[in-house]
Structure formats: C-alpha cells, structure tokens
Structure 1
C-alpha cells in the first residue's frame, strides 16, 4: 500500500484523474465496505422511496454524503470528507462527531461510527454485513479490510466529480421520471436512471447476499440506466443497460470509439481511460450516455417526444 500522498501510477491530468484499479484494489474494497456502513445508517432512518432511492449517497464538494436524514423531530447527516480524510456526523441539534479515515480494521471503523451516532443521541441498528459482495464478512468481525490509501481515495472522488457533473447535464435532457445522479453503496457505483413510464416484469434477482425482493423493487419499472464504477476497465468503466433489455439493444451502434456491448455483463461499457484520454472528455462521455439511452428508447418504443426536453429552453428569458 502506498503512503498517503503517493500512489504509483495515479496522477491528476487536468480535471479527469488517472487511477489504475490494480493500484488501489485493497483500498477500494475497504472503502466499499465502509460506504456500506454509512449507506445502511441512512437506510435505517429514511422512509422508503421507490427503487431504494432513500438509501443512496451523493457526491459532495468534500467526498460522499448521505444528505439530511430524518431522526425524531430533527435531521442528521454523515459525510466521508476525503479532503481532510475524516467521517463527519452532524446533527441538527448542534452536535458533531468525527472518525478518522486511515488504515484500520473495518471492525474498528464500524464501532467508531456506531459510537459517534450514540453520542449524538442517534442510536442506530444496521444489518450485520455488506450486500452484493461475496464473501460478506460481518462488519463487527471484519479484520480483513484494513487498507486506506488517502491519495487513491481522493483520486476516486475526483473521478466521481467528473462523472457526476456530466451525468447531471445528461439527466437535464429528460422530462420523464428520472433518478438523481446518486451513489449506490451496494455495487459501489454512481448511477442515473431514466424510466419510460411503463411497468417491468419481476426482476429475477441473483445478487450475492441480497434478497431477490430488493432487486424486484429496484427494477419494478422499465428503465434505461447509466453509471460509473471502479471496475470493468484499467481505470474503471462507464456502463449503460436497459431493463427489460429489448430486442436489438445489444446491436445498436454506441459511441464513442471504445464503447462495446459486454455479453457477460449484459450492458454497454466504455473504459474510463478512453474518456480521460479523449480530446473532449465531456463530449465523449455524453456521446456514450446518449447513444446507449437511444438503444433502449428506440428498441423498446419509448415515447421520446413526450419524455425528452431541451435543458436550455428558458435560456433566452434569463
């Protein structure tokens, strides 16, 4: 593991940083486990919103945050601040606690987070272990995930910043039901999902250590989803899929060069490094998002005229 501030081949080239997956795998897996703990804290207190949107995290100017979570007659939030490398829990009652983000066993991190919540008068019970991973070591017993390379975590957050920004602009083109750009801690991916307005067949499930009923709720409506996760490429990958997948989806032309349909994953993939190295990274990613959405919308017969909108439609009045 590299020392904080050092990371082999990881560099920041302009706004889009390079971060080889192989250079931070141990830290990535530890961070994934810690983010599951934070996400489950939000899940324990927030009321259900369709597709589990009440459980997600959001990219913030400092890292990843739960946003405001209801508790009693007030709210609290939890933020992984990867600028100062600390987890911060803040309550509307005025209190705050911090937990250092540094190399340590997940069991210790879990205990420190639960203690911070208890001290703020926010007692919380979460399920014992992570979801969508195998093996799923219970948090309180996890002495395997201990790595924390501060520089790598910051670079990953900066990847998320760019993905979040471009995906947010893409989201603005849709007038139908569309999710926020949000971070799912189960699969450790940043996602944005558009919906046709029609129902979908029950999802078959199959995610490790995750009830099929969870996926049934998540995929209860016909959708086109896109996102980014730290896998699937040398430096991570952007993805796009449709559920249910319509005939012709996999054969639809997708841009830019480098994008391809993975039969193994049943989704389009675009390596992050292809976007980072492009002359116009924003344009390359937007091309991927738009062309793969069109693959879903055209082959499934979405009412595109009713669902799509010009985000600049009021610019002339400003």
Structure 2
C-alpha cells in the first residue's frame, strides 16, 4: 500500500454515496444488537486490515461480525459457529444491497430487525425504497480505505497523549466520518439537537460532556474534497481566532470548525507530522480557551513497550 493515496472526489462521489448507505445498513444491525454505550460508541465501525468491520456483535447464543473487504471487494457476515455468507461489492441499488444483507443475516442466524431508513441526512428515503442505480468504483473504494488506514494510525498516536477520557478511533456511519474525541470530564450545556433524521436525545447524549473532537471525512455537503476537521463543544470564546497549524488549515463559519484539506496533508513533506500539528494545535486551543485541567489530563504520546510513569 504505502503512502497517502490521492483522493479524487469526482471519481469518489458516486461510490461514497453508495458506501454511506451500505455502512448505515450494516451499522444499524450492530446498533440494534448491542447494549447502549456512552456517546453511541456501541454503533460504530472500525478500520481493519481489509476494510471496515463491526467487530463482534453480541447475540443471545451466537455472535456475528460484518466486514467490508476493500481488497477483494466483498461483504462478509460471519458467526461464531464458523458459518459465513459473502456478497460481491459492485454497482447496485441500495435496495438490492439491503435485501441481500437481510438474507445473509438470516442465513447465518442473526437478527434481521433494525431501523430501515438513513440517519443524519435530510429527507431520508427508506433503504428498501432506494431502487435507483447505485455506483461502486473498486479503485475509489480501495483508495478511501488506504487513506483511512493512515488516518487511523495518526489518530491512534494522537489519542495516546491524553490521560483523561478519550474515545477509540471510530467510524461513524451516520455522518460517514472517522473521529477521535477527548473529554474534559465536565458536563456540557444541553445540546440543541436539530440534526437531520436523528432524535434529539441521541445528539444530547453524545454531547453530554465537554469535548475537543477531530475527524476525517471524504467530502460532501458543499466541501467537495476530503478534509480533516476539528471542533469543540461547547465552542469557547475566541476559538475561531486561535493560531492553528499547519498554515493550510482554516476556520469554517458554516460548520463552526477548523478544516484542513486532506490534499494538504498528502502533499506535505511529512504527512503524519502535518496531521499531528493540526490535531494538537486545535486541541491546545480548545483546552486552553475552555480552561481544561491540562496538568491532570495531558501526557506525552505513548511509545511501544514504554510504561507510563506514575
């Protein structure tokens, strides 16, 4: 694999639209079977050595795992009895993917009941009614996953430099992005809600405590290129004027967050260092302006086989 791949949004757009719906379908299966964990962490997907996975989804007698394989371009449903079903990932309507996935779940003994419409998009159409032609470009899907492998590596390195509560690196299928979040430990003001096709109680539970969050998404919603983002909730006064690195980063008034184009990271002499600078400088601004207890929360980034000093 090697290096940070070029992400061509024009080539990716159709594939990304299909994968957004497909990952929602798979993610909703995990959501329906998993006990609720704070901030909806029980519903997400994770980057693995072949694509994206649910991890082990608990069942009453048999547990399951669902994996998107972007090397061989297939979806696999496996259970803990050794039974598996596979579907080829190719151009198809969302309704066809949904129907085949339900068949795979039934064949492997998994529950097939979950919410049947997308979240976090305006005017959502139920999956079974999305019968228009889809799109799937294997090369675009593979490049997206290669980028996610790099993102996961750097985000994991960054999250190790914090002693407080910090999320794993999650892939959120609703917003179709990867994210890592640090928490001050203090309660946050009640979130206003109002996210499209998402019950307010979910967004309010997700933002129940103060956060500094960063993530990556492959483009859309008026920003037609892949980008990294960083925000704080609640947003402290002066956050938008903070000095952020690298120089290509900028404040987006529309989103209330800092953005850094993916291509600026890819083209940097040291892409990992450029992304770490963005993650660290946005966190520094959020934590300092909101008066987090940094002496108690911060620590050097972790090193392999080096135990934390007490």
Tell me whether the two structures share a fold, i.e. TM-score over 0.5. Answer: yes
Which of 243, 249, 253 is the matching residue for 1:259? 249
Which piece of structure 1 moves more, 40-49 or 132-141?
A: 132-141
CA contact (8 A) 1:86 1:100 kept: yes
| Preserved CA contact (<8 Å) 1:234 1:273 | no
Structure 1 stretches (4+) deviating beyond 6 angstroms?
none
TM-score, normalising length: structure 1: 0.93
Taking the aligned partners of 2:77 and 2:266, their CA distance within structure 1 comes to: 34
| Local SS of the residue matching 1:74 | coil
Judging changes above 3 Å, is the alpha-carbon distance between structure 1 residues 298 and 58 closer, same or farther for their aligned structure 2 residues? same
> Paired residue for 1:250, among 234, 240, 245?
240
Q: Establish whether residue 16 from structure 1 lines up as the match of residue 7 from structure 2.
A: no
Q: Secondary structure at the match of 1:54?
A: coil
- Tell me how far 1:312 sits from its aligned partner: 3.6
Q: Shift in Å at residue 278 of structure 1? A: 0.3
After TM superposition, the structure 1 = structure 2 runs for residues 1-318 of structure 1, keeping only pairs within 5 Å, are 14-144=2-132, 146-231=134-219, 235-310=225-300, 311-312=302-303, 315=306
- Secondary structure of the corresponding residue to residue 87 of structure 1: strand
Change in 2 beyond 3 A, CA 1:130/1:274: same
Aligned CA RMSD, in angstroms, stands at 1.5
Q: Is residue 234–residue 271 contact of structure 1 (8 Å, CA) maintained in 2?
A: no
The separation in 2 between residues aligned to 1:139 and 1:268, in whole angstroms, is 33
In 2, the alpha carbon distance for the partners of 1:316 and 1:147 equals 47
Provide TM-score, normalisation by structure 2.
Answer: 0.95
TM superposition shift of 1:315:
2.9
Question: C-alpha displacement at 1:48, in angstroms?
Answer: 0.3
Rounded to whole Å, the distance in 1 between the matches of 2:307 and 2:53 is 35
Give, in whole Å, the separation in 2 of the partners of 1:314 and 1:129: 45
Cα distance between partner residues in 2 of 1:31 and 1:110: 12
In the aligned structure 1, how far is the partner of 2:132 from the partner of 2:32? Answer: 25
Task: Supply the distance in 2 between the matched residues of 1:68 and 1:259 (Cα, whole angstroms).
Answer: 37
1:222-256 deviation digits (Å, cap 9, x = unpaired): 00000000116554000000000011111110000
- Secondary structure of the equivalent of 1:242? strand
Provide the C-alpha distance between the structure 2 equivalents of 1:74 and 1:178, rounded to a whole number of angstroms: 31
- Distance, in Å, in 2 between the alignment partners of 1:47 and 1:243 is 26
Q: For residues 15 and 63 of structure 1, what CA distance do their matches in structure 2 show?
A: 17
SS in 1 for 2:117: coil
Deviations 1:86-140 (A, max 9, x none): 1001100221011110011111100110110111111221112100112311111
Shift of 1:316: 8.2
SS at match of 2:240: coil
User: More deviation in 68-77 or 151-160?
Assistant: 68-77
Report the CA distance between 1:146 and its aligned residue.
1.1
